[in-house]
């Protein structure tokens, strides 16, 4: 149970990330632009997503190692 606050924090963060992504897509669609994801989108997304995934995997694997 001591990790329940951490889980709530992570879920809250994921909800905010999803809301932000939906808001950006809604903003682009309201201006009549097409939603497209090209190499520049990956160039911005990968450095943001990779550290988050590494940290979350480390937190999952750490109890198994020690």
Predicted confidence at residue 19, as pLDDT, reads 93
Cα 49-55-57 angle, rounded to 5 deg: 100
pLDDT tens for 1-44 read: 567 777 888 888 889 989 988 888 888 787 777 777 778 878 88
Predicted confidence at residue 15, as pLDDT, reads 92
Residue 48's pLDDT band (cuts 50, 70, 90) = confident
- How far apart CA 14 and CA 50 sit, in angstroms, is 15
Predicted confidence at residue 1, as pLDDT, reads 52
Predicted confidence at residue 60, as pLDDT, reads 84
What own/partner pairs with CB < 8 Å and gap ≥ 24 does 25-28 have? Answer: none
- How far apart CA 47 and CA 44 sit, in angstroms, is 6
């Amino acid at each position: 149970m001591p990790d329940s606050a951490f889980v709530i924090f992570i879920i809250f963060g994921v909800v905010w990330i999803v809301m932000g992504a939906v808001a950006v897509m809604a903003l682009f669609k309201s201006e009549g632009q097409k939603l497209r994801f090209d190499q520049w989108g990956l160039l911005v997304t990968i450095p943001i997503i990779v550290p988050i995934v590494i940290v979350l995997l480390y937190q999952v694997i750490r109890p198994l190692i020690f």
